Amino acid sequence: MHAQPFVIRPAQEDDLPALLALETAYFAHPWTAENLLTEIRKPAGCFLVALRQASPVGYVSAVLVPPEAFVNNLAVAEPCRGRGVATALMRRLENACAARGVTAVKLEVRCGNTAARSLYRSLGYVSDGVRPGFYRDPPDDAALMTHVLTD
């Protein structure tokens, strides 16, 4: 079976309802509509959305403080997982970061989220350490990871 085609573009305010639905479906402490809007509008940010048939099916958000960027959130709708959406979002984010003077992208991920950690490792992220007790609902440590961008 072939993956559904999707496109990636900067998030827009019109995406807010779908982004909010992804947040509430996949995060124990989802961002509010106001939080999402702030991130979309943030000059030092990069907020990308993946669309399938004009509907958002995933997104990634980061704050850029060159020479570093920090990934805030990455979410992909369950039916679209395993189809390259997260990989494409992260690669597009890294390209946008590099174009703005970023040389390293950092993130934190639940230690128990083995699928996400595997994805990040496959993209070249390496472990930097652990932030004990960082997450709640359910409690978990945060694995710190970094990818040094190359030319």
Tens-digit pLDDT profile for residues 110-146: 999 999 999 999 999 999 999 999 988 888 999 999 9
Which pLDDT score is estimated for 4? 52
Domain ranges for the chain: 7-148
- CA distance readout (Å), 29 to 20, 58, 131: 12, 17, 18
Confidence of residue 3 (pLDDT cuts 50, 70, 90): low
50 SS3 class: strand
- The top-level CATH class assigned to 7-148 is alpha beta
* pTM (predicted TM-score): 0.92
